[in-house]
Amino acid sequence: MPASKEVNGFEALFKVAKNYQKKVKTTGNGAVIVIANEKGGIGKSTITALMAAALAEVGLKVLVVDLDPQSSVTQMLLPNLEKLPSPAIGDLLTTDFDGDNALFPADVIQPVPAGTVYNNEALGQLFLLPSNPQLGKLNNYLATNINGRQILKFIIKELVIEEGALVNEYDLILIDTPSQLDSIFAESALIAGDMVLMPTTPRPVDQWAIAQTIQKIREAKRVANRGLEIVAAVVNMYDPRSGLVESEGLEAVKAALGDRVVEPPIRSLKTIANSPAKSTSLLTTGQAQKPADDFRQTTTEVMSRILARLDQLSSKGGR
């Protein structure tokens, strides 16, 4: 159980998670959320890992799909690896489902070990569809395959295995993407996803990527996934002590993305920046209780928007 200073954030997230679970039970499908931004270095993988951990902590069964050849989220969620997992998602994307040696999601998905920094006292279950650097070698193969951009959607939404479709086994699926959204992997994620969560920063150098990301989402909507929308944008690496430049940057993000920007922003902290290298997590360190509570509040707002979007889609008959 989180420390006393974190209880409010925990309880709010717990409440919205339970409401979300009720919605999932009525629709039969957990939402597939793509974490995407054209710009690298903004903390997509860290936000993915932290959000997955926070949601598992309040009882959701969460699957993280690592679709980035850099395999950052795999290394965060599977600590102390001597080598990256094999088989991994690349093997799943290229398997012959009708062949004698076919792989299926259950052959590749791994539980995130209990007692680790991203799965400390989780009430739910946290799972990972891991990546390894071999994924990067598949770009040309998938780009020239007639179904290359659709395979991930097939795996997540249409591949029936024993007790039902993969998506039905999880309350929520988070897909971590590479920064180059014109890669086959990012395009596949935008085709497979229900909604996009866009991390960004208030740094002026990163703001050009917002328009580029929106354009890529529009392209995916136009050709393959008409229901895709940015459900929320999370401002990362915010330092209120930086003065005018930082505050102006935050306002610029809000001007570009409007009410999709959620509060509070995620603070710029060494606890977060050093987490991959030092195997620490904002949610489990005793030195960052207030920022951890802020992150849970941000996650609560994101989940509230996901829930509202599911309600909207249900009313239109979209899910």
Domain-embedded: residue 319: no
pLDDT at 279: 54
Rounded-to-integer distance, Cα 170 and Cα 306, Å:
15
**What value does the mean pLDDT take over residues 49-64?**
92
Structural domain total, the chain: 1
Average pLDDT of span 144-148: 81
Q: How many Å separate Cα 186 from the centre of its chain?
A: 12
pLDDT for 160 equals: 47
Collect all residues with Cβ–Cβ distance below 8 Å to 138 and sequence separation of at least 6: 90, 93, 94, 184
Distances (CA, A) of 11 to 3, 16, 93, 289, 300: 12, 9, 39, 15, 10
Residue 241 lies in a domain: yes
For 266-315, how does the pLDDT look when each residue is reduced to its tens digit (9 = 90+)? 877 555 555 555 555 667 655 457 778 888 999 999 999 999 999 888 77
Residue 6 — pLDDT band, cuts 50, 70, 90?
very low
Q: What is the pLDDT of residue 3?
A: 43
pLDDT at residue number 102: 85
Q: Could you tell me if residue 272 is inside a domain? A: yes
| Residue in the structure block whose two tokens are 């799909």 | 65
Domain that holds residue 11: 4-19+32-314
Three-state SS for 77-107 is HCCCCCCCCCCCHHHHHHCCCCCCCCCCHHH
Any domain includes 103: yes
Q: Is residue 250 part of a domain?
A: yes
Residues of the chain with pLDDT > 70: what percent? Answer: 84
Q: Is a pLDDT exceeding 90 seen at residue 215? A: yes
Pick 62 or 105 by higher pLDDT: 62
What pTM value is reported for the model?
0.90
Beta strands in 67-194 (DSSP E): 110-111, 125-129, 160-161, 164-165, 172-176
φ, ψ dihedrals at 158, nearest 5°? -125, -15
- 17 or 79, greater pLDDT: 17
Count how many Cα atoms sit within 13 Å of the Cα of residue 31 in the half-sphere of its side chain.
Answer: 30
Condensed to tens digits (0 to 9), the pLDDT of residues 157-195 reads: 655 445 444 445 789 999 999 987 778 899 999 999 999
CATH number, residue 289: 3.40.50.300
Place of tokens 């969460």: 62
Q: What is the rounded CA–CA span in Å between residue 59 and residue 180?
A: 33
Of the CA atoms within 13 Å of residue 199, those in its CB half-sphere come to 30
| Rounded distance between C-alpha atoms, residue 170 and residue 48, angstroms | 16
In a domain, 84, yes or no: yes
Helices H, strands E: what count in the chain?
13, 9
Q: Establish if 27 belongs to a structural domain.
A: no
